[in-house]
Amino acid sequence: DMAKATEGVLIPLRTQDEESTCAAVLWTVFQTRGKMDEFFNASISDHSLVSSEYVFKFLASNSGFEKVDRLEGLGTKLTKELTKCSDNNGTARRKADIATNLVDTLQRKFNALELKVGKLK
């Protein structure tokens, strides 16, 4: 019954899938933590499950920090890219407005020239 808490935990730890590994470690910590009272009440110490509980707690509490740092870095990078895109969007709009105004001006001049040519015929 005491070994039930860690039964099957090594299978996901052999994969390269960090999310599954973290979930398995965390679940095992919770399951083992529930059994720890039974160990302490029975005065059991230096048992592999007792020590593994601390290992799993360490892994569960430290394995996510790299992911959080990575996510923070990606968030900062995305914020910079969004700001750059927003600036580029403003520049593109200004250039498009200038081009539209130029086309409108040229269209008016063309229409005027077309009227003059029409009068010459």
In tens, the pLDDT along 18-42 reads: 676 677 777 776 666 666 667 667 7
The whole-angstrom separation of Cα 13 and Cα 93 is 52
CB-based contact 60:29 (threshold 8 Å): yes
What pLDDT, on the 0 to 100 scale, is given for residue 46?
Answer: 60
pTM: 0.36
Q: What are phi and psi of 3, to 5 degrees?
A: -80, -10
Q: What is the rounded end-to-end Cα distance, in angstroms, of the chain?
A: 106
Query: How many angstroms separate the CA atoms of 35 and 59, rounded?
Result: 18
CB atoms closer than 10 angstroms to residue 24: 21
Q: Quote the pLDDT of residue 71.
A: 79
